[in-house]
Amino acid sequence: MLRTFDTHKIRKTRELSGRLWDFTPAEGEYAGKTQKVMVPSCLETYPGFGNYRGLADYETTFEAQGNVRLEFKGVSHFARVFIDGRETASHYGSYTPFSVCVTGLAAGTHTLKVTVDNAFRDEYSLDFPNDYMSYGGISRGVCLDEIGELFLQWVHITPLKEESGVWTVRAEVSVRNLTERAGCALLSLSLAGQELISSQISPAPGEQSYTFENLTVTGVTPWSMDSPVLYPIQARLSQDGQVFDDLIDRTGFRLVQVQDNRILLNGRPVRIKGFCRHEDHPHFGCALPAEAIARDLQLVRDLGANSIRTSHYPNDELFLDMCDEMGILVWEENHARGLSEEQMRNPFFEPQCEEVIRAMITAHYNHPSIYIWGILNECASDTALGRECYQAQFSLIRSLDLSRPVSYASCKYNADICQDLPDICSWNMYPYWYDDETAVKKIEDLDAFLGKQGIHKPLIVSEVGAGAIYAFRDTAKDVWSEDLQAEILGKQLTEIFSKERCSGLYIWQFCDVRVSRIWWAMRRPKSRNNKGLVDEYRRPKLAYDVVKGIFEKLENYW
Instruction: Please report, as ranges, the residues that interact with ligand ADA according to CB under 6 A.
Output: 131, 337, 377-378, 411, 428, 463, 508, 529, 531
Q: At closest approach, how far in Å is the CB of 338 from ligand ADA?
A: 6
Nearer Cβ to ligand ADA (41/462): 462
Nearer Cβ to ligand ADA (131/245): 131
Q: At closest approach, how far in Å is the CB of 193 from ligand ADA?
A: 43
Question: What's the rounded Cα separation, in Å, for the pair 86 and 15?
Answer: 22
Q: At closest approach, how far in Å is the CB of 284 from ligand ADA?
A: 20
Q: At closest approach, how far in Å is the CB of 411 from ligand ADA?
A: 6
Nearer Cβ to ligand ADA (337/364): 337
Nearer Cβ to ligand ADA (263/376): 376
How many CB atoms are located within 10 Å of the residue 10 CB? 16
Q: At closest approach, how far in Å is the CB of 320 from ligand ADA?
A: 21
Bridge partners, residue 307, by sequence: 274, 329
Nearer Cβ to ligand ADA (67/485): 485
To the nearest 5 percent, what fractions of the chain are helix, strand and coil?
20, 40, 40
- The CA distances from residue 272 to 46, 265, 419, in Å, are 38, 11, 20
Closest CA to 314 of 533, 69, 96: 96
Q: At closest approach, how far in Å is the CB of 78 from ligand ADA?
A: 23
Q: At closest approach, how far in Å is the CB of 311 from ligand ADA?
A: 6
Is 527 strand, coil or helix?
A: helix
Closest CA to 362 of 246, 249, 236, 254: 249
Q: How many CA atoms lie within 13 A of 385 on its CB side?
A: 13
CB 142 within 8 A of CB 175: no
* Continuous segment of H or E residues that includes residue 194: strand 194-201
Nearer Cβ to ligand ADA (189/429): 429
CB 234 within 8 A of CB 194: no
Nearer Cβ to ligand ADA (192/468): 468
The DSSP call for residue 403 is S
Nearer Cβ to ligand ADA (120/210): 120
Closest CA to 473 of 542, 548, 373: 542
Question: What's the rounded Cα separation, in Å, for the pair 470 and 532?
Answer: 9
Q: At closest approach, how far in Å is the CB of 23 from ligand ADA?
A: 30
Nearer Cβ to ligand ADA (293/429): 429
Q: At closest approach, how far in Å is the CB of 334 from ligand ADA?
A: 14
Nearer Cβ to ligand ADA (46/433): 433
Q: At closest approach, how far in Å is the CB of 427 from ligand ADA?
A: 10
Question: What's the rounded Cα separation, in Å, for the pair 235 and 237?
Answer: 7
Q: Is 329 exposed, middle or buried (0-12, 13-18, 19+ CB in 10 A)?
A: buried
Length of the chain: 558
Torsion, CA 50, CA 299, CA 132, CA 426, rounded to 10:
170
Q: At closest approach, how far in Å is the CB of 512 from ligand ADA?
A: 11
Q: How many CA atoms lie within 13 A of 155 on its CB side?
A: 28
Question: What's the rounded Cα separation, in Å, for the pair 111 and 434?
Answer: 52
Nearer Cβ to ligand ADA (123/435): 435
Longest dimension (CA), the chain: 78
What is the β-pairing status of strands 459-464 and 425-428? parallel
Q: How many CA atoms lie within 13 A of 310 on its CB side?
A: 28
Residue nearest to ligand ADA according to CB distances in the complex: 131
319's CB contacts (< 8 A; 6+ apart) are 279, 288, 293, 297, 310
The DSSP call for residue 398 is H
Nearer Cβ to ligand ADA (265/276): 276
CB 24 within 8 A of CB 59: yes
What is the β-pairing status of strands 272-276 and 307-309? parallel
Nearer Cβ to ligand ADA (407/428): 428
Q: At closest approach, how far in Å is the CB of 342 from ligand ADA?
A: 18
Nearer Cβ to ligand ADA (64/425): 425
How many CB atoms are located within 10 Å of the residue 178 CB? 18
Q: At closest approach, how far in Å is the CB of 465 from ligand ADA?
A: 7
Omega cis (within 30) before 40: yes
Q: At closest approach, how far in Å is the CB of 278 from ligand ADA?
A: 8
The DSSP call for residue 476 is T
